[in-house]
Amino acid sequence: MQTSRRTFVRGLAAAGVTIPMFREDAFAHLFRANTIAGTKPALAVAEDELYWAQIQRAFDADRTMINLNNGGISPTPTHVLEQMIRDLKFTNELPVEHMWRILQPRMETTRRELAKEFGCSTEEMAVVRNASEANEIMIYGIDLKRGDEVLVTNQNYGRMIATWQQRERREGIVLKQISFKVPPPSDQYIVDQFKAAITPRTKVIEVPHITNLTGQIMPIREIVKMARPLGIEVMVDGAHAFGHWPMKRDELDVDYYGTSLHKWLHAPIGAGFLYVRQDKIPKLWPLMAAGEGQVNDIRKYEEIGTHPQANFNAVSAALAFSQGMGFDRKIARLRYLRDRWAKRLMTESDRVHVLTQIGPDKSGAICLFHVDGLDPVKLGGWLLSKHHIVNTPIVHPEFSGIRITPSVYTSVNEIDTFSDAVLQAIKTGIAS
* Residue 67 to residue 418: CA distance in whole angstroms: 10
284: nearest Cα among 272, 301, 271:
301
DSSP designation for 230? G
pLDDT at residue number 162: 98
Distance (Å) of CA 91 to CA 44, 88, 431: 44, 5, 52
* Residue 61 included in any domain: no
Q: Tell me: cis bond preceding 376? Omega within 30 of 0 counts.
A: no
CATH of the domain at 305: 3.40.640.10
Query: If you average pLDDT over residues 236-258, what whole number do you get?
Result: 97
Do 278 and 192 lie in a common domain? yes
CATH of the domain at 355: 3.90.1150.10
pLDDT at residue number 38: 73
Is 62:389 a contact under the CB 8 Å cutoff?
Answer: no
What is the per-residue pLDDT across 352-389, written as a single tens digit (0 to 9) for each?
999 999 888 889 999 999 999 999 999 999 999 999 99
Do 160 and 246 lie in a common domain? yes
Do 310 and 342 lie in a common domain? no
Judging by DSSP bridges, how do beta strands 174-178 and 149-153 pair with one another? parallel
* Residue 296 included in any domain: yes
Q: What is the mean pLDDT of the chain?
A: 93
Instruction: Please state at what angle helix 24-37 crosses helix 315-325, rounded to 10 degrees.
Output: 20
Do 301 and 227 lie in a common domain? yes
Do 278 and 339 lie in a common domain? no
71: nearest Cα among 216, 189, 171:
216
Query: If you average pLDDT over residues 153-173, what whole number do you get?
Result: 98
pLDDT band at 89 (very low <50, low <70, confident <90, very high): very high
* Residue 80 included in any domain: no
* Residue 106 included in any domain: yes
* Residue 384 included in any domain: yes
pLDDT at residue number 10: 46
pLDDT band at 411 (very low <50, low <70, confident <90, very high): very high
Query: If you average pLDDT over residues 54-78, what whole number do you get?
Result: 94
* Residue 387 included in any domain: yes
Do 165 and 267 lie in a common domain? yes
Please tell me the pTM assigned to this model.
0.91
Q: Which residues contact 31 (CB under 8 A, 6 or more apart)?
A: 4, 5, 8
Do 143 and 183 lie in a common domain? yes
Q: Which domain holds residue 420?
A: 329-428
| First CA to last CA distance, the chain | 54
Kindly compute the dihedral angle of the four CA atoms of residues 196, 199, 200, 204, in this order, to the nearest 10 degrees: -90
Do 314 and 344 lie in a common domain? no
Which residue among 319, 337, 370 closes a domain? 319
* Residue 229 included in any domain: yes
* Residue 6 included in any domain: no
Do 139 and 203 lie in a common domain? yes
Residue 325: strand, helix, or coil: helix
pLDDT band at 41 (very low <50, low <70, confident <90, very high): confident
pLDDT at residue number 28: 64
Is 268:318 a contact under the CB 8 Å cutoff?
Answer: yes
Distance (Å) of CA 241 to CA 211, 231, 364: 9, 26, 9
Which residue among 262, 296, 319 closes a domain? 319
Do 103 and 222 lie in a common domain? yes
pLDDT at residue number 9: 46
Percent of the chain as helix, strand, coil, to the nearest 5: 50, 15, 35
> What is the tally of structural domains in the chain?
2
pLDDT band at 17 (very low <50, low <70, confident <90, very high): very low
pLDDT at residue number 432: 58
Which residue among 257, 290, 319 closes a domain? 319
Least confident of 36-45, 183-192, 242-251, 315-324: 36-45
DSSP string, 295-319: TT-GGGGG--SS--HHHHHTHHHHH
* Residue 375 to residue 393: CA distance in whole angstroms: 9
pLDDT at position 103 over 70: yes
What is the per-residue pLDDT across 315-365, written as a single tens digit (0 to 9) for each?
999 999 999 999 999 999 999 999 999 999 999 999 999 999 988 888 999
Do 303 and 341 lie in a common domain? no
What is the per-residue pLDDT across 146-160, written as a single tens digit (0 to 9) for each?
999 999 999 999 999
pLDDT band at 16 (very low <50, low <70, confident <90, very high): very low
CB-side exposure of 310: number of CA atoms within 13 Å? 18
Do 274 and 380 lie in a common domain? no
Share of the chain above pLDDT 90, in %: 87
Sign (positive/negative) of CA torsion 257, 410, 31, 44? negative
